[in-house]
Chains A and B, each alone.
Chain A
């Protein structure tokens, strides 16, 4: 395991992406846009937020390249940019995969340690690593 060098652009891009994803309102906006494009008014509707507040969130998401604006001059609908979102997700994937393995083993151990679940356990036991 070693630290590698970073390309400046990529580094800034990932920072912006993580920052964008760190807010629950912005995650909810992305979830809505994953179902199809929407105008600012449509996006603001479920939240008790003013339009300027929603626009601020949209700017952060646009800066991160996670959403873009459509061509319709009147509505300017926002749409999700799936490749950038996937890129950020894969960055975390290896780390998550490693810890998923650890926690699956912990699930099995906790199951073994609780008397109530002994009756439910099947005869085939998983090998703990």
Chain B
């Protein structure tokens, strides 16, 4: 599997991990900023259609915390993610722990994000490690539900708008 700019690789190796690899057409420092500066994060870290980020707080230092809240007005739903930074080696690597405010699963996920630049392009690798296989699979499945639901929503809108 070779990665190229624009293609996202997701794998679930082993029992408890999810790995995502994605190449961006930008220097590393800029990509690092996009992942860590609130004014930039709110522009892209949004999930399915219809959600906006209403809270984006980042204290980027070891032991510092972050807090994200997303809101969907049409469904009147909201959820939040809180985490702590364990290691920060800008612009190469961030290790943090995170959990959803609504506690959909027990324990923390440990996320290691690395940024590697080559020829003006940056490869970002996100490794999420969960406490158990069941929790890892649940995280994947929740993505599947929202992802598939979003796809059906889009399909429905397309069909309705053309009839």
Residues of A within 8 A of B (CB): 1-4, 6, 11, 14-15, 18-19, 21-22, 27, 91-103, 105-111, 113-114, 128-129
Contact = CB atoms under 8 A, between A and B. Distances in A.
Nearest to A95: B143
A3 B104 contact: yes
A98 B147 contact: yes
B142 interface: yes
Contact of A102 (B13, B30, B44): B44
A1 B15 CA distance: 21
Interface in B1-54: 1, 6, 8, 10-15, 18, 20, 22, 24-26, 30-31, 34, 40, 43-49, 52
A128 B147 contact: no
B140 interface: yes
B98 interface: no
A107 B18 CA distance: 22
Contacts of B34: 106, 109-110, 113
Given A3-B104, A92-B140, A106-B34, A101 B11 contact: no
A1 B146 contact: yes
A18 to B, nearest CB: 5
Given A2-B142, A95-B139, A110-B25, 5 more contacts: A6-B137, A22-B11, A95-B140, A101-B46, A101-B47
Interface string B148-163: 1011000000000000
Contacts of A93: 144, 147-148
Contacts of A106: 24, 34, 43-44
B20 A99 contact: yes
A95 B147 contact: yes
A10 to B, nearest CB: 10
